[in-house]
Copies of this chain bind each other. A is one copy, B any other.
Amino acid sequence: MSSADRKAKKKEELKALILEASMKLFVEKGIEQTTIRNIADAIDYSIGTVYIYFKDKNAIFHALHTQCFAELGVQFRVLYDLNDPMERLKAMGKLYIQYAMDNPDKYDLMFSLKAPMEFLNDTQANEWEEGTASFEVLRTVVQECIMAGHFKGHRLEPLSYLIWGCVHGLCSLEIRARTKGVLLKNPDTIVADGYDEFLKLLDKQ
């Protein structure tokens, strides 16, 4: 291994170390309590060093958001065991909600927080790769459902967006604390119960 290679590897390792510490702090304390100083402290480096490896706080959180999409992708792998597209679609929604409820802050980072999108704006990216890839997975399943005779009279892309919107809405209202305080009869199961109603709707298609 050449000297340059060793140096590049070390840089990558430190970058990974920063992300590891950031993720830990983020999951433990949320995005606002994850400060550059906290991160620097956690890895025993100075503030300035963090800025050598990441342009700013948004860049760190964009990298974390990318890791979360990879994590969700791993959990989605079991879906390929399901041959019936309709069953796959239903299971996908269930897994999506499960991930959101198990990892509310990570979900928030992926689908609500501004940091990752601001990073894309700053870097003049006109595509959100993680979003595009995920939506493509969903659209493909819906497409298969349509080809299997479901969703007559529906349009592929708007229908896919509706399905995404439904599961996202159920999760988002819960995570953003809009179900707490509404005096629901079963607040603890409202997200799962809501999804059950969605499945009933789909069953009639």
Flag the segment in A15-23, A42-50, A53-61, A174-182 that touches B: A174-182
**Closest Cβ–Cβ distance, residue A126 to chain B (whole Å):** 7
Question: A161: which B residues are within 8 A, CB to CB?
Answer: 170, 173, 179, 184, 190, 193-194, 197
Q: Bin the interface of chain A by size.
A: 35 or more
Q: Mark A99-135, 1 if CB is under 8 A from B, else 0.
A: 0000000000001101001001000011110011001
Q: Is A76 among interface residues, defined by CB-CB distance under 8 A? A: no
A155, B193: Cβ atoms closer than 8 Å: yes
User: In the assembly, what is the distance between CA of A155 and CA of B200, in Å?
Assistant: 10
Q: Which of A155, A167, A180, A201: most chain B Cβ within 10 A?
A: A201
Which A residues form the contact surface with B (CB < 8 A)? 111-112, 114, 117, 120, 125-128, 131-132, 135, 153-155, 157-159, 161-162, 164-170, 172-173, 176-186, 190, 193-198, 200-201, 204-205
B197, A158: Cβ atoms closer than 8 Å: yes
User: In the assembly, what is the distance between CA of A29 and CA of B176, in Å?
Assistant: 22
User: In the assembly, what is the distance between CA of A19 and CA of B183, in Å?
Assistant: 28
**Closest Cβ–Cβ distance, residue A171 to chain B (whole Å):** 8
A184, B157: Cβ atoms closer than 8 Å: yes
